[in-house]
Amino acid sequence: MTRTITRSYDSYETAAAVVENLEAAGIAAADISVVGRDERAKDSNAAEGAGIGAGVGGAAGLLAGLGMLAIPGIGPVVAAGWLASTAAGAVAGAAAGGLVGSFTNAGVDEDEAHYHAETVRRGGTVVSVKASDAHAATAEAIMDGATPIDRDTRIGQYRNEGWTRFDETAAPYKSPIV
């Protein structure tokens, strides 16, 4: 049986290290996805961004195929893997749900999908793995070992700011000045 394991990280660099560690543990690149923000790619044109992986992601595996996508409600992101392909198809076909729909189609609970999409909108990066029973424990150990964002704490923070769910029609997120 296969299940989807998804974690959000505050930095692209942490997520990229997770991807590299998953691949090193024998999890196929075809079963791993990453979608998020990376400052080095923010000025890239999403329409021309295919193959930016060497500069942003890494030289091998999934990250070598990293490209740019423009996702409604989020803007330009770096993305690779099956989740990125699903999101790109949803964007190109103007399908409802965009990134949220991509997560839910992969088996992620709808509330969790809204959380992950909002995390990307606010500058985070999501790693998602389609793991067989044989690889699930390894994937979770690697992903949790990199200290993902605590979902409950972050959702509480979002809700304190008035958030209820991801809105792909919302204006780009601007961090409050602290």
Q: Taking the domains of the chain in order of start, what are their residue ranges?
A: 2-160
**Does the pLDDT of residue 113 top 90, yes or no?**
yes
- Dihedral sign for Cα atoms in the order 142, 59, 107, 10: positive
DSSP 170: S
**Amino acid type, 158:** Y
| Cβ partners under 8 Å of residue 41, min gap 6 | 49, 52, 55, 56, 68, 76, 78
Average pLDDT, the chain: 81
Where is pLDDT greater, at 151 or 98? 151
Which residues have C-beta within 8 Å of that of residue 73, sequence separation ≥ 6?
A: 98, 99, 117, 121, 166, 167, 168, 169, 170
What are the tens digits of pLDDT across the range 116-173?
A: 999 999 999 999 999 999 999 999 999 999 999 999 999 999 999 999 999 888 776 7
Using a cut of 0.85, tell me whether the model's pTM lies above it.
no
Would you state the pLDDT for residue 65?
Answer: 76
Position of tokens 């999403």? 46
